[in-house]
Structure 1
Amino acid sequence: MITPAFELTQDPDFLTIVIKVPYARASEFDVYFEGEDFKFYAKPYFLRLTLPGRIIEDGREKASYNTDKGTFTIRLPKEIPGQYFEGLDMLTSLLAPKKSRSGKPLVEEIDTAASAGLSEEEEEEFDWEIEQTPYEESAESMLPLQYCYGFGNLRSGVFQRLQDELSDVIDIKAPDQTPVDERRRKRLAAEAAKFDPDHYLADFFEDEAIQHVLMYKPWWVDVHKKMTAFKGESHQEHDSHTFVVFSEEEKEQLRKLTNKSYLLDKRSRHHVYLGLIDILLAYCYEICVNEGDKNVESAWNIRKLSATLCWLESFTSIHDVVVSFGRRVLCYPLHRHFGLVTRAFNDTVMILQLGKAAVLKCLLDIHKIFRENDPAYILNDLFITDYCIWIQKTKSKKLAALSESLQKTTLTKSHIGFELEELEAAAVLVEEEERMLKAAGTVSKQQLPSSESETSESEESSSTSSSETEGSDSDERESSTSEDGKINSLQGTLQEERTAPLIDCNGLRQGTNTSTFEVSDEKPKVSLQSTSVPGKLIEELEKQMHTAIRLSEQPEGLAAASCILQEQEENRVSEPDGFSKDTTGKGNFLEVSSKANPLLLFCSTNEDED
C-alpha cells in the first residue's frame, strides 16, 4: 500500500481533508470516520489518521473528486462546533496509530512517578509483540566507560564504528570515553586558541558586507508580523502555526519520518530544549549570512557554530547556550561580528514565538542540508531526525515559555570572555593616533612650498648685493637675476670627478688636486676654459690656486655661499680683472661677470705665497 499525500484544514464547524490519489479509480474508494479515527482506501492508496479532535456523521459531511488534479476533498463536521484542532500540520504524529500515540501501558514519558499508579486495565493494553533482537556481546560493550550523547543523551557507541568519519563531523575526540565536563573544558580551550583578534577587528571596522547581510529578512520575520497583527486585532490566543505553510517537499519529508516515542526524564528534556535553542541559533546565522541561499558551506556553518552538534555539548542553562554560540561565531566562520550574534538571537526568539510549526519547518530545512552533505548525515541520525519527530508532540505552551526565557536572557561582549571591549578601545586609540599623524603630515606638506620660496628670495637678495659692487644698481640687478637662474640650472648638472670631498661652508664641497668640472646627464667633460672667461685670467688663477672649489649640487650650498659673500662684502679689497681678495686671509673670492657663463669661485690661498 502507498501512503498518499494529504493536508488538513479547518474552520469553526468543519474539518477538511484533501487527499492526492492521481492513479486511483474514483469509483472505487472507501471512507471511514468515527470520533478521532479516519480511514481512506483507494487502491493502491491507504491512509489512516488519528485526529486531534472528534468528528461526527450527521448528514453534513461531503466528498468530491477532482479528475484533473486527482484529488479527493472530504469535508467532515466537528462534534463540538467552534472547537480548534491543534496539530493538523504535524503529519508524522497524525499518521501514527492511536495505540502508539497513547503509550500509556509503556513507561510514562512525561512523569515517571505516575507509572507506579497504573491500573490493571491499562496494564492489559501493553503490547507484548514489540520487536526484539538476540543479545550479542561485542567489543564495544567491553569498554570500561561509554558516555552518552545525541538527542536526549540516548545514544552511545556510535562513533566506535565511524572513526573515519569522526574528524569531519565533530571536534571532540573519542566522545564515548569523554565525559561532559571534559568536553566543555576542551571546547573552551579550543575556542580560546582559535580566536583571532586581527580578524575580529577587521570585521569590526570594515563591516560593509556584514551590514548588508543584516538587512536581509527571512520568511519568519513577515510571518511574525502577521501573527502579532492578528493577535492584536482579534485578542485571541490562536495557535500561531496556522501562519506557517509547509511546502510539498516538506510534507513529503514528514511522511517519510518514522513515528517514535521518547522516554525522557526531566533532566533529559531540559537538555533537549537547550540543544534546540543552540541548533536554531546556528541555523539563523547561516540563513542571515547567505541571505537564504544554500551553498557547500551551509552544513559546515550550522554544525560548527552549534556546540551541541560539534562538541556533543549538554547545556545546563540558556545563558550558557547563548555565550557558547557567541564565542563560536567570533572564532570560526568567515564573518565574525557581534551584530550577527544579536541578529541570530532575535531570529530564534521569533521562531519560538511562532510555535512548533515554525520550529519544525526550520528543522526540516536543517535535515535537508545535512542529508545532502557527506558525512553530515550522521548528525541527522544523532539529533535532527529525532528533533523533527519530537517537536510535533511538544506542547505549544512549553515553546512559548522557552521563547520568553530566551528573550529575558542578556548577552554582552564581556560575557564572551575574549576581552572584546578592551581590544576595541585599544584599536580605536591606535586609529586616532594614525589619523593625527596623517593630519600632521598633510600640514607639513602644505608648508613646504612657502619655505622653498623663502630660500629663493634669500638667494636673489644675496646675488643682488654681490652684483652691486661691479656696476650700477639697475644693470647689476638685471644681470644678477639672469645669472642666478643660470647658476641654479648649472648646479644640478655638476658632479665631482674625484671622491673624498671635504664639506665646508654648509654645502660647498672642497676637493684636492681637482681642476676640471664634470657635467652630468651624459654630457661630455668640459674644461674650465670651456666657459667664456678670458684665457689669461684663467692662467693666472691656475698658478695661484692649489684647489678649485666647485659648486654644491644642493640649493642650500648657493644660499650659504651668498650669505658668506654678504657678510664679508665690506672687508674685501677690489683687485683688477674682476678678482677680489678677502682680507681675513681665509681665501679669495673670484667674481667673473660674463654674460655668457657667469661663474663664482672660492679659492684657497697659500700663506707662504702671500
Structure 2
Amino acid sequence: MITPAFELSQDAESLTIAIRVPYARVSEFEVYFEGVDFKFYAKPYFLRLTLPGRIVENGEEDGSYDVDKGIFTLRMYKETPGEHFEGLNMLTSLLASKKSRSAKPLVEVTGSSELPGESKEDEEEDFDWEIEQSPYEELTESDLNAQCHYGFGNLRTGVFKRLQDELSDVIDLKDPDSTSLGERRQKRLAAEESKFDPDHYLADYFEDEAIRKILKYKPWWTIAFAKMMASPERNQEQNNQETFQVSFSKEENYQLLKFTNKSYLLDKRAQYHVYYGLIDILLAYCYEIRVTEGESNVESAWNIRKLSGTLSWFESWNNVHEILVSFGRRVLCYPLYRHFKLVTKAHIDTVKILQLGRSAILKCLLDIHKIFQENDPAYILNDLYISDYCVWIQKVKSRKLASLGETLQRTYLTKGQLGLEIEELESAALLVQGEETESQVPCSISSQQLSGFDSLTKDSAKPDAISSSSKTEDLSVDRAKPADHEGGKVNYLEENATSITDSLEFCLKPDIRTYDVGQEKPVTSSQSPRVSAPLIIELEEKMETESQPSQQCGTSAVDEGKQPT
C-alpha cells in the first residue's frame, strides 16, 4: 500500500482533508471516520490518521474528487464546534504508528501519541530548565563504559565501532564509544584553545565589511516573527503560533511522510538533554543561514556540525548558558567569519524560532536533515539526531517551547565568559591603533604651520605697497588654521569610528550576575537588567549610521582648510 500525500485545514465548525490519489477509481473510494480515527482506502492508496480532535458523522459531510488533479477532498464536522485542532501540519504525528524497525538500543513505544515521560502531572509543573544534581560516586571502569552513550536522548551506543572509517569525517571526538561525558568536554575545550587564531579574529574585528552585510540579512523567521508580534490576536490561545506564520512546501511534506511515527522512552534528565541539544543545533543552523544568506552550499553541512558541540562532540548540556559559551567559542575558532556579533545574532534568531513554535522549529530541522542527507558522510548525524528530532518535535507541547525560548532570551553572553581573552586582545589592538593615529595627527598640523610660515616669509620680502594686501591674506590664513585643526580632529574620529562603535559594548555590558530562569542561585553569566542584547546591537548600528554624516562634514572641513588663500 502507498501512503498518499495529504493536507488538513479547519475552520470553526469543520475539518477538511485533501488527499492526492492520482489514477484512482472513484468507485473504489472507502472512507471511515469516528472520534479521532480517520481511514481512507483507494487502491493502491491507504491512509490512517489519528486526529488531534474529535469529529462526528452528522449527515452534513461532503466530498468531491478532482479527476484532473487527482485530489480527493472531504469535509467533516467537529464534535465540539469552535474547538481548535492543534498540530494539523504535523503530518508524521498524525500517521498511525508503525512497527519498529530501528536497531537497538534505541527504544520506542508504538501506538502512543504522547511521550511516555510526559504525564498530565508533568505537563502541569513548571519547567525550571535545571537538571537535578546528584552526589558524586566513584565509578568502576565497567560503569564508565556503560555510560558512553550519545545520539538523541543519549539512547545510542556502539554505533561507531562499525563506522571507524567514516568517523573522522563526521565528528571531532575520536572514540565516542569509550569516552565519558567529562572526557568529551575536556577534549573539546582543549581543541578549541589550540584552534583559536588571534590574527584571524582581529582581521574580522577590524575589517568587517562582509560581516556588516551579513548582519543586515533577514532570514524567513524574522519576517514571520514580526507578523506574529504585530498580530492583534497573538495572545489568544486559539491563534496558535505554528499555524498561520509558517507553512511547509510540498518537498517538506514529502519529507514528513517518510519518517516513522514513534514515541521515546525518555526520563526527565534525558528530556532536558534533548531540549538543550535542540538549542545547540538551532544556534549552529542560524549562523549557517545568516552567513550564506539562505543559500546552502557544499560547506553548509560542515558549518552546522562543526559549530554544534552536540553534533561534533556528542556533548550533553546542563544549562542554557554553557550552550551559549560553547557556541560562542566555536564561532570564534572554526568558521570563515569569526565575529562576536554573529554569535549574538544567532542567539536572537534562535529565540525567535523557539517563540514561533513547533512549525518553525520543524521547518529548520527538515532543512538540516536535507543538508545532511545530501552530504556524505554527514547523513550519519541524521540517523543519530536529526530524524528523531523531526519526529519528537511534532509532539512537544507549545508551552514548554515557549518556556525554553524565554529562558534563552534571558540568558546573555559576554566576551569575557568565552575564556579566550578576546577583550584583552581587542584592547591591545585598539591601543596600538590609537597610538599610530595620534602620531599621524601632529605631523599634518605641523606641515600646515610650515606652509603658513613660508607665506609669511615671502610676504615680508615684498614692497610696502603690497604689504597691506599681504596682511589681509595672512589673516585669512590664520582664520583657516582652526578649520585645519578641526579637520584633523574629524579625520581622527573617522579613522577610529569603527573602534569607538565596537568598544561601545564595554560601556553597555557591566559585569552583573544574573539569574537563569527557574533557579535561585546565580549563574555565571553577565547580563544587564537595563540594556538587553538586541538593544545593544540596535545602538551600535545607530552609532554607525550617525557617524556617516559626520564623516562627510569632516571631509569638507579638511578640503576648505586646504584651499589656497
- Normalised by the size of structure 1, how large is the TM-score? 0.67
Q: Distance in 1 between matches of 2:198 and 2:29?
A: 68
Give the secondary structure class of the aligned counterpart of 2:60. Answer: coil
2:475 aligns to what? none
Post-superposition Cα deviations, 1:381-416, rounded to whole Å, max 9, x if no partner, equal 110011011111111111111111111111111111
User: What is the deviation of 1:441?
Assistant: 4.3
Q: Distance in 2 between matches of 1:408 and 1:298?
A: 29
- Please tell me the residue identity of whatever aligns with 1:150: G
1:156 aligns to what? 157
Verify the 8 A CA contact 1:151 1:272 in the aligned structure 2.
yes
Matched, 1:374 2:382: no
Deviates more, 1:59-68 or 1:357-366: 59-68
Verify the 8 A CA contact 1:303 1:309 in the aligned structure 2.
yes
Give the secondary structure class of the aligned counterpart of 1:77. Answer: strand
Post-superposition Cα deviations, 1:265-315, rounded to whole Å, max 9, x if no partner, equal 000000000000000000000001110001011001100000000010001
1:222 aligns to what? 223
1:109 aligns to what? 117
Q: Distance in 2 between matches of 1:144 and 1:205?
A: 47
1:428 aligns to what? 430
Structure 2 CA distance for partners of 1:177 and 1:113, relative to 1, 3 Å: farther
2:139 aligns to what? none
Matched, 1:390 2:392: yes
Give the secondary structure class of the aligned counterpart of 2:58. Answer: coil
Alignment of 1:110-509 (within 5 A): 110=118, 147-232=148-233, 235-236=236-237, 238-242=239-243, 243-443=245-445
- Please tell me the residue identity of whatever aligns with 2:429: A
Structure 2 CA distance for partners of 1:144 and 1:392, relative to 1, 3 Å: closer
Verify the 8 A CA contact 2:84 2:238 in the aligned structure 1.
no
- Please tell me the residue identity of whatever aligns with 2:201: Y
Q: Distance in 2 between matches of 1:233 and 1:337?
A: 35
Q: Distance in 2 between matches of 1:72 and 1:354?
A: 31
Post-superposition Cα deviations, 1:309-353, rounded to whole Å, max 9, x if no partner, equal 001000111000011101110111111111111110011011111
Verify the 8 A CA contact 2:117 2:268 in the aligned structure 1.
no
User: What is the deviation of 1:442?
Assistant: 3.9
Structure 2 CA distance for partners of 1:198 and 1:358, relative to 1, 3 Å: same
Q: Distance in 1 between matches of 2:252 and 2:339?
A: 32
2:37 aligns to what? 37
User: What is the deviation of 1:427?
Assistant: 1.1
- Please tell me the residue identity of whatever aligns with 2:40: F
Deviates more, 1:28-37 or 1:249-258: 28-37
Q: Distance in 2 between matches of 1:174 and 1:164?
A: 12
Identity %: 65
1:84 aligns to what? 84
Structure 2 CA distance for partners of 1:342 and 1:2, relative to 1, 3 Å: same
Verify the 8 A CA contact 2:115 2:264 in the aligned structure 1.
no
Q: Distance in 1 between matches of 2:144 and 2:410?
A: 43
Verify the 8 A CA contact 2:116 2:264 in the aligned structure 1.
no
Q: Distance in 2 between matches of 1:192 and 1:97?
A: 46
1:14 aligns to what? 14
Verify the 8 A CA contact 2:97 2:112 in the aligned structure 1.
no
- Please tell me the residue identity of whatever aligns with 1:229: A
User: What is the deviation of 1:437?
Assistant: 2.4
Post-superposition Cα deviations, 1:457-481, rounded to whole Å, max 9, x if no partner, equal xxx9xxxxxxxxxxxxxxxxxxxxx
- Please tell me the residue identity of whatever aligns with 1:407: Q
User: What is the deviation of 1:9?
Assistant: 0.6
Verify the 8 A CA contact 1:146 1:176 in the aligned structure 2.
no
Deviates more, 1:71-80 or 1:227-236: 227-236
Verify the 8 A CA contact 2:365 2:389 in the aligned structure 1.
yes
User: What is the deviation of 1:194?
Assistant: 1.1
User: What is the deviation of 1:103?
Assistant: 3.9
Structure 2 CA distance for partners of 1:382 and 1:22, relative to 1, 3 Å: same
Q: Distance in 2 between matches of 1:142 and 1:167?
A: 26
Verify the 8 A CA contact 1:4 1:47 in the aligned structure 2.
yes
Q: Distance in 2 between matches of 1:245 and 1:273?
A: 23
Structure 2 CA distance for partners of 1:143 and 1:434, relative to 1, 3 Å: closer
More helix by share: 2
Bigger Rg over Cα: 1
Structure 2 CA distance for partners of 1:312 and 1:455, relative to 1, 3 Å: same
1:566 aligns to what? none
1:122 aligns to what? none
Q: Distance in 1 between matches of 2:268 and 2:446?
A: 73
- Please tell me the residue identity of whatever aligns with 1:417: G
- Please tell me the residue identity of whatever aligns with 1:73: T
- Please tell me the residue identity of whatever aligns with 2:27: S
User: What is the deviation of 1:237?
Assistant: 5.1
User: What is the deviation of 1:364?
Assistant: 0.4
User: What is the deviation of 1:438?
Assistant: 2.6
Verify the 8 A CA contact 1:146 1:156 in the aligned structure 2.
no
Q: Distance in 2 between matches of 1:359 and 1:101?
A: 24
RMSD value, Cα: 2.8
Structure 2 CA distance for partners of 1:197 and 1:62, relative to 1, 3 Å: same
Between the two structures, name the one with larger relative contact order (CA 8 Å, sep ≥ 6).
2
Structure 2 CA distance for partners of 1:231 and 1:152, relative to 1, 3 Å: farther
- Please tell me the residue identity of whatever aligns with 1:81: P
Give the secondary structure class of the aligned counterpart of 1:159. Answer: helix
Give the secondary structure class of the aligned counterpart of 2:40. Answer: strand
1:517 aligns to what? none
Q: Distance in 1 between matches of 2:27 and 2:453?
A: 105
Q: Distance in 2 between matches of 1:245 and 1:293?
A: 19
User: What is the deviation of 1:229?
Assistant: 2.1
Give the secondary structure class of the aligned counterpart of 1:285. Answer: helix
- Please tell me the residue identity of whatever aligns with 1:109: G
User: What is the deviation of 1:159?
Assistant: 0.9
Structure 2 CA distance for partners of 1:111 and 1:9, relative to 1, 3 Å: closer
Verify the 8 A CA contact 1:231 1:237 in the aligned structure 2.
no
User: What is the deviation of 1:146?
Assistant: 6.2
Deviates more, 1:226-235 or 1:203-212: 226-235
Give the secondary structure class of the aligned counterpart of 2:82. Answer: coil
User: What is the deviation of 1:91?
Assistant: 0.8
Post-superposition Cα deviations, 1:127-170, rounded to whole Å, max 9, x if no partner, equal xxxxxxxxxxxxxx999656101110000111111111111111
Verify the 8 A CA contact 1:213 1:288 in the aligned structure 2.
yes
User: What is the deviation of 1:112?
Assistant: 13
- 5+ residue gaps, structure 2, are 100-108, 123-141, 462-565
Q: Distance in 2 between matches of 1:406 and 1:412?
A: 14
1:527 aligns to what? none
Structure 2 CA distance for partners of 1:237 and 1:41, relative to 1, 3 Å: closer
- Please tell me the residue identity of whatever aligns with 1:197: P
Verify the 8 A CA contact 2:96 2:111 in the aligned structure 1.
no
Q: Distance in 1 between matches of 2:410 and 2:147?
A: 37
Q: Distance in 1 between matches of 2:21 and 2:12?
A: 27
User: What is the deviation of 1:64?
Assistant: 0.8
User: What is the deviation of 1:452?
Assistant: 9.7
- Normalised by the size of structure 2, how large is the TM-score? 0.72
Give the secondary structure class of the aligned counterpart of 1:8. Answer: strand
Give the secondary structure class of the aligned counterpart of 2:24. Answer: coil
- 5+ residue gaps, structure 1, are 115-140, 461-610
